[in-house]
Amino acid sequence: MGDPAHLKRIALLHLGRIHDETPALRARLARRGIASELVPLPPLAKDGAPAPDWGRFDLVSVRDCRGSHRHGDFLPRIRALAQRLEALGVPLANPLPVIEAGHAKNAYLPQLAQEGVALIPSRWLPRGWCGSLAELLDTCGWQEAVLKPAVGSLGWHTYRVRREGAHLTITSADGSRPVVAGAMAAGAVDGWLASLTRGGEVCLQPFLPGVCMDGEFSAVMLGGRFSHAVAKTVAAGGWIAHERFGGANTPREASAAERRWAEAIEERLRRRFGVLPYARIDGLRDGAGELLLLECELVIPRLFLGEGEAFDRYAEVLLGPASTRMAW
């Protein structure tokens, strides 16, 4: 990443919203003499359109591009920008291969499963999939399941499915109202599912009731090392562990076993990508209390820097070359 002594200005790319923790991070960087600038992710360039002066930056970060799942051209825009930055010798905080693989769950989770990481069982429905959701649940042996897109965030297009005899009830993540009016004949929802898969690949996983009691376990890795952990709880009557849906994020003292679990997953990510400046590894416990990998947030994660008192650690990782990221 270059000599941190010569790093003076960082571009923080965004799509209109930034992380709540970013203002405090910018203040920490400013104390170190590092200017940070919020820069909108540029659209795909048109002939003759003026281009920003990217050469004035020493580093570009994509971590504040919240809502990227709603922008179908996000990756093409990032790829075009990465090409411009490479020509100028300006690095991305997370290299392009990490962004490309981490943006979609189906781009890295199946490979981790092949490498022996225990994941929540998953069925990937390709774009344009048509079929019977009830038959799929029967094949998998699941009475309750969760449907979510391969590219998504904040519960976007995430649904809980409950099988009740010949009927299905589907509820959206925000709990506002069922997708269909009460329990419907199983075949009646297949058209809805087909419309969902027209937007991209969809993941079907069994619903783990433990999430309502234990929530999620999130381990934050900075510069290839375990930094801190957070327990993400579910609101009363809910089933999504997220503050947007009434949940809470609480600092947690990770056990030795939980740290080993997160470090083993990080080590597999490192084999593929090298040392990552940041990663958030989220898990859920199964009925036996074992942690199963839910996802790895590698591109635009909230890192719970406040909860983990980790602003300075993250700043060190962000500014330091890869060879020094593990020094703290």
Residue 42 has pLDDT above 50, yes or no: yes
Q: Show which of 160, 177, 206 is a domain's final residue.
A: 206
Q: Show which of 173, 206, 239 is a domain's final residue.
A: 206
In a shared domain, residues 113 and 242: yes
Q: What CATH number does the domain containing 78 carry? A: 3.40.50.20
Q: Show which of 206, 231, 265 is a domain's final residue.
A: 206
In this prediction, residue 238 carries a pLDDT of 74
In a shared domain, residues 214 and 112: yes
111: helix, strand or coil: helix
In this prediction, residue 321 carries a pLDDT of 56
Mean pLDDT confidence for 2-25? 84
- Which of the two residues, 163 and 299, has the higher pLDDT score? 299
- CB hemisphere CA count around 50 (13 angstroms): 2
In this prediction, residue 40 carries a pLDDT of 95
In a shared domain, residues 110 and 89: no
State the residue range of the domain holding 167: 123-206
In a shared domain, residues 179 and 224: no
In a shared domain, residues 222 and 106: yes
Residues 6+ apart with CB under 8 A from 191: none
Mean pLDDT confidence for 28-53? 85
In this prediction, residue 213 carries a pLDDT of 84
In a shared domain, residues 114 and 225: yes
Q: List strands edge to edge, sheet with 9-14.
A: 35-40, 9-14, 59-64
In this prediction, residue 191 carries a pLDDT of 79
From 191, 187, 205, 98, select the one nearest 150 (Cα to Cα).
205
First to last CA, the chain: 17
Mean pLDDT confidence for 154-181? 70
In this prediction, residue 5 carries a pLDDT of 47
Mean pLDDT confidence for 103-111? 88
In this prediction, residue 48 carries a pLDDT of 55
Residue 51 has pLDDT above 90, yes or no: no
DSSP sequence for 44-95:
PP-TT-----GGG-SEEEEEE-TTGGG-TTHHHHHHHHHHHHHHHTPPBSS-
Dump pLDDT digits (tens) for 258-300. Answer: 999 999 999 999 999 999 999 999 999 998 889 999 999 999 9
∠ CA 265-288-307, rounded to 5°: 50
Which residues on neighbouring strands pair with residue 147, listed in sequence order? 159, 204
Dump pLDDT digits (tens) for 185-239. Answer: 556 677 788 888 888 888 899 999 888 888 899 999 999 999 999 999 888 777 7
In a shared domain, residues 110 and 259: yes
DSSP state of 102: H
In a shared domain, residues 74 and 12: yes
In a shared domain, residues 239 and 114: yes
In this prediction, residue 163 carries a pLDDT of 83
* Cβ count near 298 (within 10 Å): 23
The domain total for the chain is 3
| % the chain with pLDDT above 70 | 88
In a shared domain, residues 62 and 111: no
Alpha helices (H) in the chain, listed in sequence order: 22-31, 74-88, 96-102, 109-114, 133-140, 190-197, 211-214, 256-273, 311-319
In a shared domain, residues 115 and 232: yes
Residue 67 has pLDDT above 50, yes or no: yes
Residue 325 has pLDDT above 50, yes or no: no
Phi-psi bin for 157: left (phi > 0), alpha (psi -120 to 50), beta? Answer: left
In this prediction, residue 272 carries a pLDDT of 92
In this prediction, residue 301 carries a pLDDT of 94
In a shared domain, residues 161 and 29: no
Give pTM, 2 decimals: 0.88
Alpha helices (H) in 203-307, listed in sequence order: 211-214, 256-273
* Cβ count near 198 (within 10 Å): 12
Task: Enter the tokens of residue 145.
Answer: 């399941």
In this prediction, residue 323 carries a pLDDT of 34
